[in-house]
């Protein structure tokens, strides 16, 4: 039947601002859709029909028997993924965090210039999201607001070796970059700094036992920010509807007769039975019961630090000699998850560990050992990803300090008490790199794309779940399914209407329904 647009009375939204609620009614007066009506954000290119999300999380949810007045198909802003990949690099990996800090500062500037209400990266114009101290609005001119988190801009954060450690901090633990820098400095002082003499290194094997125990205790003591209600804070597996983490390692049988790359995933990856790239499908399965510290230990199990680790009858090693740049592995992983499609990526940001050819130390005999291998592998992967990005039309950005670090060793931390000299050398080289015009241009393009994507997504109801892990449960005391969780407000609204005969979310009942929906919000209980 035909439809006619009808403008209802003005009602306040959740920020106390008046909005026009526009519904469409068929010719017999039955309401079909309800949405806020007003100006569109400059970055808001989401079609109106895609503003609200799809299905609830739980498989046992019984769909309603008629369409919701507030639920729309919303594939567009979520269909293509954003990826952050972090190379290994030993202590030089500190430069990748400095690059990220500068990026988040640029993102903060863009966010606040577009919408002063966006005081954190969790912000949404649709719902008031509860914030914690780590998402406050305090900032200064030198550091990005701690409320702007990489996990809100990337669907996947992946890393190898020390890049894997950073991926855990930013992805699984959902830290701000500044917090990750603090943690990385503490880890560097205990894990990277080598004993002063060859004789002592020989006797103590770099004091491997003490170092690995420190690594374990350190990661065991950290807890993820805003865990989803079903997450176990010590386990690597996390909410699959939030930022996902991939950490690369090498798995070996105990007698080392077989070795293969292994991906630690914070989510389940079911074997793809139809993909043409099946030979490259790394260890498809559920995400096992690995603890966060075990994954950190496995990805950093390099001879320079400490030996391999035995987990579930297999041994795991650092993967820097094989897949130091994890970008191709992640491209392949997302292609498999997408049913073999190579068009599921929107933006890929790859950050090197300061191991570009210009940073190779000068040696008398021309050899570079592990550093040479890491540099060569990363360069080859960069060339391959560049070709992939052109063939499949996704934005690819590679940022890596290209010179000035040749005198900084992979395990240098001087002086041992603070690392101040090592940190200064890395900061100076990184600052010079970021001031280059070509780097600055690429930097701005990446920041703008990420802000545009987040802004579009924040205008869908799925955002609340992605940003802070919110689920909803029925607030009615007599509900026959009190423990059932719903992925978003619209799914709960459908339940309230169909199971409890509540009024629709029209202008007359707007405040009443919003209050009831807020009562159903749950994050980590």
pLDDT in tens, 6-37: 333 333 333 333 333 333 333 333 333 333 33
Helices (H) and strands (E) counted in the chain, each on its own, are 15, 13
Distance CA 235, CA 177 (A): 21
Helices (H), 205-304: 208-221, 292-299
Are residues 516 and 503 in contact, defined by beta-carbon separation less than 8 angstroms?
no
Strand order in the sheet with 31-37: 3-12, 18-26, 31-37
In this predicted structure, what is the pLDDT of residue 34?
A: 33
The C-alpha torsion from 335 through 339 and 341 to 344, rounded to 10°, is -60
Kindly report the pTM of this predicted structure: 0.81
Task: Pull the structure tokens for residue 165.
Answer: 């450690």
Distance CA 435, CA 427 (A): 12
318: annotated active-site residue: yes
Q: What is the pLDDT of residues 411-440, one digit of tens each?
A: 888 887 788 999 999 999 999 999 999 999
Most confident among 277-291, 402-416, 462-476, 507-521 (mean pLDDT): 462-476
In this predicted structure, what is the pLDDT of residue 274?
A: 60
- Catalytic residue, candidates 87, 155, 318, 322: 318
Distance CA 472, CA 223 (A): 23
Average pLDDT over residues 71-75: 43
In this predicted structure, what is the pLDDT of residue 135?
A: 43
If one compares 11 and 99, the residue with the highest pLDDT of the two is 99
Are residues 57 and 299 in contact, defined by beta-carbon separation less than 8 angstroms?
no
Q: Would strands 395-399 and 345-351 be described as parallel, antiparallel, or unpaired?
A: parallel
Task: Pull the structure tokens for residue 201.
Answer: 């290194």
Q: Which helix (H) or strand (E) holds 37?
A: strand 31-37
515: helix, strand or coil? helix
* Separation of CA 6 from chain center: 41
In this predicted structure, what is the pLDDT of residue 300?
A: 87
134: helix, strand or coil? helix
Q: Which helix (H) or strand (E) holds 386?
A: helix 369-392
Distance CA 385, CA 350 (A): 10
Task: Pull the structure tokens for residue 298.
Answer: 């496995």
Q: What is the pLDDT of residues 279-316, one digit of tens each?
A: 578 888 877 789 999 999 999 887 666 778 888 888 89
Phi, psi of 159 (to 5 degrees): -160, 160
Strand intervals (E) in 424-505: 471-472
If one compares 175 and 511, the residue with the highest pLDDT of the two is 175
Average pLDDT over residues 469-473: 93
* Separation of CA 54 from chain center: 22
If one compares 376 and 3, the residue with the highest pLDDT of the two is 376
Average pLDDT over residues 206-230: 85
Q: What is the pLDDT of residues 113-123, one digit of tens each?
A: 999 999 899 99
- Catalytic residue, candidates 11, 124, 161, 300: 161
């Amino acid at each position: 039947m035909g439809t006619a647009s009808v403008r209802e009375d003005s009602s306040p939204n959740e920020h106390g601002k008046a909005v026009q609620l526009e519904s469409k009614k068929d010719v017999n007066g039955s309401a079909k859709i309800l949405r806020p009506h007003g100006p569109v954000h400059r970055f808001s290119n989401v079609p109106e029909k895609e503003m609200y999300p799809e299905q609830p999380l739980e498989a046992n949810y019984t769909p309603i028997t008629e369409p919701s007045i507030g639920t729309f198909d919303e594939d567009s802003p979520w269909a293509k993924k954003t990826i952050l990949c972090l190379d290994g690099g030993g202590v030089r990996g500190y430069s990748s965090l400095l690059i990220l800090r500068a990026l988040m500062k640029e993102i903060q500037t863009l966010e606040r210039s577009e919408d002063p209400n966006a005081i954190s990266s969790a912000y949404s114009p649709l719902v008031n999201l509860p914030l914690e101290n780590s998402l406050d609005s305090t900032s200064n001119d030198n550091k990005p607001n701690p409320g702007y988190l990489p996990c809100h801009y990337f669907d996947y954060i992946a890393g190898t070796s020390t890049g894997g450690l950073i991926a855990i901090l930013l992805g699984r633990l959902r830290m701000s970059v500044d917090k990750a820098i603090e943690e990385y400095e503490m880890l560097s002082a205990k894990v990277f700094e080598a004993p002063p003499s060859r004789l002592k290194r020989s006797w103590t094997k770099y004091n491997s036992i003490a170092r690995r125990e420190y690594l374990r205790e350190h990661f065991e003591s950290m807890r993820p920010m805003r865990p989803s209600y079903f997450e176990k804070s010590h386990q690597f597996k996390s909410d699959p509807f939030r930022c996902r983490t991939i950490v690369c390692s090498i798995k070996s049988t105990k007698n080392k007769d077989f070795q293969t790359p292994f991906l630690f995933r914070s989510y389940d990856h079911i074997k793809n039975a139809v993909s043409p790239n099946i030979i490259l499908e790394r260890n498809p399965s559920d995400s096992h019961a690995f603890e966060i510290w075990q994954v950190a230990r496995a990805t950093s199990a390099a001879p320079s630090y400490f030996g391999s680790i035995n987990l579930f009858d297999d041994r795991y090693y650092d993967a820097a000699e094989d897949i130091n740049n994890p970008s191709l592995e992640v491209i392949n992983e997302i292609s498999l998850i997408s049913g073999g499609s190579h068009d599921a990526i929107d933006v890929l940001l790859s950050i090197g560990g300061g191991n570009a050819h210009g940073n190779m130390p000068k040696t008398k005999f021309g050899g570079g050992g592990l550093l040479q291998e890491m540099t060569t592998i990363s360069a080859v992967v960069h060339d391959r990803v560049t070709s992939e990005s052109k063939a499949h039309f996704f934005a690819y950005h590679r940022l890596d300090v290209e010179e000035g670090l040749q005198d900084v060793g992979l395990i240098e931390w001087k002086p041992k008490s603070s690392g101040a000299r090592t940190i200064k050398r890395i900061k100076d080289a990184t600052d010079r790199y970021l001031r280059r015009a070509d780097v600055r241009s690429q930097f701005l393009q990446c920041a703008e794309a990420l802000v545009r994507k987040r802004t579009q997504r924040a205008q869908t109801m799925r955002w609340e779940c992605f940003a802070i892990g919110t689920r909803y449960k029925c607030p009615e005391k007599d509900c026959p399914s009190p423990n059932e969780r719903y992925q978003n407000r619209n799914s709960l609204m459908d339940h309230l209407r169909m199971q409890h005969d509540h009024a629709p979310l029209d202008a007359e009942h707007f405040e009443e329904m919003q209050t009831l929906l807020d009562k159903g919000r749950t994050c980590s209980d």
